Amino acid sequence: MSRSRLLLIKHNLPLISLLTLAVMAFASTSLASAARIGLMPTPFESATLNLKLFDLRREAVLRQARAWFLSDFNPESFAEFVDLVSGMHNAWFRMVIGYWDMAASLVTIGAIDGDAFRAAHTEIFATFSKIQPFLDELRKAGKEPDLCKHMEAVVMAAPDVEALLTRRRDAMRAVAKARASKSTVE
């Protein structure tokens, strides 16, 4: 008879306690380990992590960087892309793509359910839509073949994603052009 079984008998604990202990021991493993063996996070775990990610977005500098990225970063060529991310906005650019790639990595390792993440963080589509046309060139120029790989994997897993990205990119460019033409008129 096993030592665990003897302890349960000695303490007059039912067999279900052994199963509870086994489940508790299993539950204490990392989410990455659980993902490797095919377990998905519970809806509660996904929701908790999604809320924590949302809370991180409230940090003042990240909020400024995201505002710049979504409203003023609208490159139409790779040369314009490079110009926009050089100089004073480089840190903001890196902060925004770094945040979203880190957040998306929680999906790719299995810590957050992908559909729950995409539903809670639709801003990732707008962000990715702005870098997607230049991502291959950016990866080659920077010699970083895995740049934004988590963000790309999560975004591209959405249904009808190409049409969605095109709509987001076109809408943001139109708003930026309207804002620019309004400021030149005034």
Please spell the DSSP secondary structure of the chain, one letter per residue: --HHHHHHHHTT--HHHHHHHHHHHHHTS-HHHHHHTTPPPPHHHHHHHHHHHHHHTTSHHHHHHHHHHHHH---SSHHHHHHHHSGGGHHHHHHHHHHHHHHHHHHHTTSS-HHHHHHH-THHHHHHHHHGGGHHHHHHHHT-TTTTHHHHHHHHTSTTHHHHHHHHHHHHHHHHHHHHHHHHH-
What's the whole-number mean pLDDT along residues 65-81? 95
Share of the chain above pLDDT 70, in %: 78
Mean pLDDT of 136-143: 96
pLDDT at 87: 86
Whether residue 14 has pLDDT greater than 60: no
Q: Over 90: is that where the pLDDT of 67 sits?
A: yes
What pTM was estimated for this model as a whole?
A: 0.75
Of the candidate ranges 69-73, 117-121, 154-158, 176-180, the one whose mean pLDDT is the lowest: 176-180
In the predicted structure, residue 39 carries a pLDDT above the cut 90:
no
* Domain positions in the chain: 1-39, 40-185
Q: Is the model's pLDDT at 146 over the cut of 50?
A: yes
pLDDT on residue 22: 37
